[in-house]
A and B are shown apart, each in its own frame.
Chain A
Amino acid sequence: GAGVSQSPSNKVTEKGKDVELRCDPISGHTALYWYRQRLGQGLEFLIYFQGNSAPDKSGLPSDRFSAERTGESVSTLTIQRTQQEDSAVYLCASSLTGVNYEQYFGPGTRLTVT
């Protein structure tokens, strides 16, 4: 079946502009995660959605970052007033609920802020 998809695959934006990144999880997956990966670094947790529960936003680095998810479907990550330090690959993952289930990752969106 279809995996996790993300769009766009690449995004170049000017400093100060807003960007929206999209994630389509695997159908039936109740959990959805967003991560940021800077060049040569590990993954940095941003936000977690679980069904209709309040999201875990503890990883969002500033109030310029926000994310939404409607039910168990598509999620969008929005970065307002982008800064050069926001340049990174943004990865989305989905999974079934529970510690015994693995995450399935999308290919990521490479964001470059000029």
Chain B
Amino acid sequence: DAKTTQPNSMESNEEEPVHLPCNHSTISGTDYIHWYRQLPSQGPEYVIHGLTSNVNNRMASLAIAEDRKSSTLILHRATLRDAAVYYCILREWAGNQFYFGTGTSLTVIP
């Protein structure tokens, strides 16, 4: 099973960009990189995913290293509502499972 490594916690000031790193050195060529976040007392929600190219959506951007062994989730302007646990997950092409790990707890400072 493919695994990811993330810092346990990070802080950001409100209105500033946040870069959340994720290492996935054992990634295989067909693994997709997914990001989810979990707000307090809620189920996780999808943020973004990608395979090789950088991706942008209304919530965030995903920057994927050229060797795909790491990726960075970018929140362009952190708000208090972005305070959550962010999970970086590898989704195997032929697999059923999402391995969530313990994620990064993001604190946004007003």
Contact = CB atoms under 8 A, between A and B. Distances in A.
A20 to B, nearest CB: 19
- The size class of the interface chain A forms with chain B is 20 to 34
A74 to B, nearest CB: 17
- The size class of the interface chain B forms with chain A is 20 to 34
B82 interface: no
B92 A99 contact: yes
Contacts, number: 52
Nearest to A106: B43
A42 interface: yes
A77 interface: no
Contacts of B99: 45
A50 B95 CA distance: 12
Interface string A88-112: 0001010000011011111110000
Contacts of A31: 96
A41 interface: yes
Contact of B43 (A48, A102, A107): A107
A70 to B, nearest CB: 19
Interface string A6-31: 00000000000000000000000001
15 contacts: A42-B101, A42-B103, A43-B44, A43-B98, A45-B98, A45-B100, A48-B97, A56-B96, A58-B97, A59-B97, A99-B91, A103-B98, A105-B43, A106-B43, A108-B43
